[in-house]
């Protein structure tokens, strides 16, 4: 129950997306070395495709978090969890 409350909390995802954005945009090289190269990214995006994917993740994560933060979906999910 507590885990659901944390995972459906709007503020959690806003803070988590800031961290993901930082890792994706600033620590791209370290993330690529930590998780390894992505074969499909290198194939379809060319040389350095893994780094490009980390940059894309760094840009998209906060956008999705802001959409979730201001959406009514999260309000309905929290009301469902509180009803348990």
Q: Is the pLDDT of residue 72 over 90?
A: no
pTM: 0.70
DSSP letter at 46?
Answer: -
Residue 53 within any structural domain of the chain: yes
Residue 48 within any structural domain of the chain: yes
Overall domain count for the chain: 1
Residue 3 within any structural domain of the chain: no
For residue range 11-22, list pLDDT tens digits in order: 888 899 999 899
Q: Is the pLDDT of residue 84 over 90?
A: no
Closest C-alpha to 74, from 2, 12, 10: 10
Closest C-alpha to 12, from 33, 43, 4: 4
Range of the structural domain that residue 14 is part of:
9-79
Q: Give the confidence band of 56 by pLDDT, cuts at 50, 70, 90.
A: very high
Number of neighbouring beta carbons within 10 Å of residue 33: 11
Residue 33 within any structural domain of the chain: yes
For residue range 26-53, list pLDDT tens digits in order: 988 888 889 888 899 989 998 889 899 9
Gyration radius from the chain CA atoms: 16
User: Where does residue 50 rank: exposed (0-12), middle (13-18), buried (19+ CB within 10 A)?
Assistant: buried
Residue 2 within any structural domain of the chain: no
């Amino acid at each position: 129950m507590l885990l659901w409350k944390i995972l459906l909390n709007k503020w959690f995802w806003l803070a988590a997306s800031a961290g993901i954005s930082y890792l994706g945009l600033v620590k791209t090289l370290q993330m690529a070395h930590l998780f390894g190269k992505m074969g499909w990214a290198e194939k379809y995006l060319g040389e350095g495709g893994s780094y490009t994917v980390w940059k894309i993740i760094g840009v998209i994560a906060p956008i999705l978090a802001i959409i979730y933060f201001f959406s009514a979906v999260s309000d309905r999910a929290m009301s469902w969890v509180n009803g348990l």
